[in-house]
Amino acid sequence: MPKANETLLEIDLNALGDNYKYLTSKIKKNTKVMAVVKAFGYGSDAVAVAKELVHCGVTYFAVAYAGEGATLRNAGIQIPILVLHPLPTNFDLIVNSCLEPSIYSRKMLHDFIAYAEAKSQKEYPIHLKINTGLNRLGFKSEDISFIAEMLAETKSVKVRSVFSHLAASEDAAQREFTLRQIEAFRSISTTLTNALGYQTLLHTVNTSGIINFPEAQFDMVRTGIGLYGFGNDPRENQFLKPVATLKTVISQIHTIEAGENVGYNMGFNAKSRTRTATLPIGHADGISRAFGKGVGWVTIHGKKAPIVGNVCMDMIMVDVTNIDCEEGDEVEVFGENPTAEELALAIQSIPYELLTAVSQRIKRVICRK
């Protein structure tokens, strides 16, 4: 790749493909894969990611909201797309875009059946979300008879899958809780499919579940963060490659004398002569103010340059006193060094948050390294 001459996010499709191969090496041959491409493909480029994953052989996509699915459809993605959090106001968009809604409550089931019947739909695919302990969205076991009765009275919809979501599959200390979730899902899904009278796809494991609970693959697995290079475990991360690399450049270098300040509210006071570099990236681009005052850092020519003072909306300043650099030089904000996980840990966060915070005003560059 040529050196960056502006702030940009490189998206490495070869790394994406390698991550897909590694994750699918963990599953049985006939297990289907649902790739999660919500939130602009975890902050990258959902369309570019989805097209590459179609080529890799993914079976299903999952998005959070209907608009995300419509974007994929408009880009020519034809394979099934599950909308994890549909809203009644988006039923038109869902059906017009041939998206498949997750149905998670009695009201949602009632409302979507009524809509589907009004639109003369026949066996429109829906997915039933089961709550096994995350307590976010989903039916419980006591809802099974209601679901069966509602579906027996209509031909407008048909269940494509029954699924749940694990709350702590990456946490070894919560293994017993996860096993209880898996057993609850096994029990509820069996009762539910028996009540429906036909077999549906079953899925509950996420990226960490693929790695830690291979016995719970059922018919399909879902993977999001793993595709983008993070396995929620240092041992697994070594086999995965970060897909996104955030880069910027040095706009200006200053020499700050002892006693002088840098940035808003005099966020940094030099104790000795200091060289600082100003970079064109700030909290409007996803660099949290929590990274200010030395908490966060970037890498310049392989060396760590701590952030000095407060993070500005469009700029940060970093300490380059001990780095041989000049204006126009490339800066790595996160990628291989530091990784998004390393940087996120500095503010007690997770890579998901850092990746998805990257502003849409930052240029995306699709590459193959």
What is the tens place of the pLDDT at every residue in 348-358?
A: 999 999 999 99
**DSSP count for the chain of H helices, then E strands:** 12, 19
Give how far Cα 46 sits from Cα of 91, 261, 310, 333, Å.
22, 41, 32, 21
**Residue 186 confidence (pLDDT):** 97
In contact, 310 and 263? CB cutoff 8 Å = yes
In the chain, % of residues over pLDDT 90: 98
d(CA 173, CA 303) in angstroms, rounded, equals 36
**Residue 125 confidence (pLDDT):** 98
**Residue 233 confidence (pLDDT):** 86
In the chain, residues under CATH classification 2.40.37.10 are 244-367
**List 21, 107, 122, 264, catalytic entry:** 264
> Which pTM was predicted?
0.96
Structure tokens at 95: 């059906």
Structure tokens at 330: 């490339």
Amino acid present at 19:
N
Q: What value, to the nearest 5°, has the Cα angle with vertex 52 and ends 77 and 334?
A: 120
Q: Over the range 283-297, which residues count as b (16 or more CB within 10 Å of their CB) and which as e?
A: bebbbbbebbbeebb
**Rounded to 5 degrees, what are φ and ψ at 79?**
-70, 165
Nearest Cα to 80, choosing from 95, 100, 52? 100
Amino acid present at 41:
G
**Residue 280 confidence (pLDDT):** 98
In the chain, residues under CATH classification 3.20.20.10 are 31-228
Amino acid present at 115:
Y
The string of DSSP letters for 147-212 reads HHHHHHT-SSEEEEEEE---S-TT-GGGHHHHHHHHHHHHHHHHHHHHHHTS--EEE---HHHHHH
38 among known catalytic residues: yes
- Before 101, cis peptide (omega within 30)? no
**Residue 2 confidence (pLDDT):** 78
Structure tokens at 10: 């490189």
What CATH number was assigned to the domain covering residues 244-367?
A: 2.40.37.10
**List 38, 129, 241, 247, catalytic entry:** 38
**Residue 127 confidence (pLDDT):** 98
CA-based torsion, 249, 283, 335, 220: positive or negative: negative
What CATH number was assigned to the domain covering residues 31-228?
A: 3.20.20.10
d(CA 342, CA 197) in angstroms, rounded, equals 49
3-state helix, strand, coil in the chain (%, to 5): 35, 25, 40
Amino acid present at 157:
V
Which residues in the chain land under pLDDT 50? Answer: none
List, for residues 311-329, the tens digit of each pLDDT value.
999 999 999 999 999 999 9
**Rounded to 5 degrees, what are φ and ψ at 4?**
-70, 140
**Residue 300 confidence (pLDDT):** 98
